[in-house]
Structure 1
Amino acid sequence: MELDALKHLQSEMLGHILDQPNDAQSLIVDEGALNAEQRLSIYHSAYRMRLKETIETDHEVLGSYLGDDLFDQMVIGYLQYHRSDNPSLRYFCDPLPKFLANHVPFSNLPVISELARFERLLLVAFDAPEAHRITLDTLQQLAPESWPGIQLTFHPSVQLFNSPSNAVNIWQALKQENPPPEVSNAEQCWLIWRNHERLTEFRHINDIEHLLLQQALTGDSFESLCETLTEHVVEDEAPQIAASTLMRWIKDGLIQSL
């Protein structure tokens, strides 16, 4: 087959698979018990089945929360909204939280989008690039006068998940195959990362640690973190709290370098 003819066939096949105007049926011959239309339908269905499998794999807990009927409705709607435009299916569901937040009936219950966003961040943490992590020995080698200017570089897997609801508590219950709690509007922040054993972890963090992480992630110095703490705790305790927080981050494997 000449190159131009092959390109034309591929273009028409793609149009058929994506439900775009095409003339693919005229280019396909009947074979055996299957006519051209039946043969084309195999590719048309297989494409959608593969994308559905990707959504099921990436968002297992979300699927449990929705149930079969709503999940199928979500898949159909999402495939109409978003086509696979990357050679890797790893990124196919990245726009899914936005789709759920903006399309009924899913947008009527915002926690659905939050569950999807949480699962996306877990994936980001899981397959983030590997990088060196410092140990507590690194701190012990620092001269005391160096502490105020310390700036932190975090491991690429570190993510912050801010949620206006108890989405993570719902996710945890479903993951353990327990009945999920009722949705509640209670703003929560969670820290997500991949640990030393390459396992994804997450934990709830309080407002102060959240504030410190936000500052540290943007490059603020240790001195700036201490100054922030003085607005929330007794001034004399701020350096010790900042130091203990930093040591926990290092033990958890969050810090790549100082």
Structure 2
Amino acid sequence: MSTLFELQQRFQDAILLADAPLGLFAAESTGSGGFSVYLQAYSARLTAALRDNFPTLHRGLGDDAFAALARAYIAERPSHFRSIRWFGDSLVEFLAAVPERLPHPALVDLARMDWATRTAFDAADATLLGFEDVAALRPDEWPEQVFKAVPSLQILDLEWAVEPIWKTLNDDEQAATDAPQALPHALLVWRPTLECCWRSADPCEAVALRALRAGATFAECCTRIAKFATTEAARTAAEFLQRWISEGLLARD
């Protein structure tokens, strides 16, 4: 006689593993009741979670194509989180590994934007750095000063100019869109207060922000900027800093 744990394990395997023997659940694996309810509900609930986490990708693909993609992802990447909110954390990697899963490669970047905005929205709040905080620094403190990005900041490397399509489909899921242009660039996504923001960043700014997130001092950021800037690195860094404070990209310690 099976123990309760063994029975529960076989029940879980029958739901999660496509090639698992159904055993005593086989008789109830078809139809509209019994064990079939669990088989159908598991896939349906995870598909719904993917639609919620990737709404723009869903709109770009359409219901049928997204459902087929979800089935393939669920089969290969079953959920390992206690919260269904995080299901889909490796969908971008899944799509990028086999581009043929999508009708257009730019859809991978739509998925990147979807996940980044969801992640930024759920990130921890932060007290924003103000101009008065910077004004209080002594001249000798600037070289070793370390500025912190808000926890929500995401820096994405995109291959396509998908932002207009992403915005259009978010505003109107029935809207028609043109194919995007290939354009390698960096995109910033963050949440200064209650709503997420995003904009592109030139290579110099992206390098500076990545250095800042890694704990670089202001002097070290200036060194990184000097490799890109056509003007004085310290002046460019100061301009970046002013913009970052204005846009709510930096947090107080």
Per the TM superposition, whether the score is higher than 0.5 is: yes
Task: Specify the SS of the correspondent of 1:186.
Answer: strand
Determine if the alignment matches structure 1 residue 189 to structure 2 residue 186.
Answer: yes
The aligned residue for residue 199 of structure 1 is: 195
Render the CA deviation track for 1:139-191: whole Å, top value 9, x for unaligned: 11111121122112221111101101112232122112232231321112111
Query: Tell me, which stretches of 5 or more residues in structure 1 are unaligned?
Result: 29-34
1:40 maps to which residue? 35
**Residue type at the aligned position of 1:140:** A
C-alpha distance in 1 between matches for 2:13 and 2:203: 51
Residue aligning to 2:11: 13
Q: Does residue 136 of the first structure (1) align with residue 131 of the second (2)? A: yes
The amino acid that maps onto 1:185 is: A
TM, length-normalised to structure 2: 0.87
Report the CA distance between 1:5 and its aligned residue. 3.4
Q: Distance in 2 between matches of 1:145 and 1:213?
A: 22
- Does structure 1 conserve the Cα–Cα contact (< 8 Å) formed by 2:160 and 2:183? yes
Q: What is the aligned partner in structure 1 of residue 162 from structure 2?
A: 167
Relative to structure 2, which stretch is displaced further, 139-148 or 220-229? 220-229
Question: Are the counterparts in 2 of residues 58 and 119 from structure 1 also a CA contact under 8 Å?
Answer: yes
1:93 equivalent to 2:83? Answer no
Match of 1:32 in 2: none
Matches of residues 21-60 of structure 1 in structure 2 within 5 Å? Answer: 21-25=21-25, 38-60=33-55
Cα gap change, 1:234/1:75 in structure 2, threshold over 3 Å: closer, same or farther? Answer: closer
Partner AA of 1:212 in structure 2:
A
**Is the Cα contact below 8 Å between 2:126 and 2:252 reproduced in 1?**
no
3-state DSSP class of the match of 1:94?
Answer: coil
1:166-218 Cα deviation digits (max 9, x unpaired) = 1223212211223223132111211111112x211111122222222122222
SS of equivalent residue, structure 2 residue 189: strand
Question: CA distance change for structure 1 residues 230 and 47 in 2, over 3 Å: closer, same or farther?
Answer: closer
Return closer, same or farther for 1:145/1:21 CA change in 2, 3 Å cut-off. Answer: same
Q: Which runs of 4+ in 1 moved over 4 A?
A: none
Check conservation: 1:173, 1:181, Cα contact below 8 A. Answer: no
- CA separation in 2, counterparts of 1:37 and 1:230? 66
Q: Which residue of 2 aligns with 1:219?
A: 215
Measured after TM superposition, the shift of residue 233 of structure 1 is: 2.1
Retained in 2: the 8 A contact 1:155–1:254?
yes
C-alpha RMSD of the superposition: 2.5
Aligned partner of residue 188 in structure 1, secondary structure? strand
State the structure with more CA Rg.
1
Find the counterpart in structure 2 of residue 31 from structure 1: none
8 Å Cα contact 1:189/1:204 also seen in 2: yes
**Match for residue 59 of structure 2?**
64
After superposition, the Cα gap between the structure-2 partners of 1:109 and 1:11, relative to the gap in structure 1 and judged at 3 Å, is same
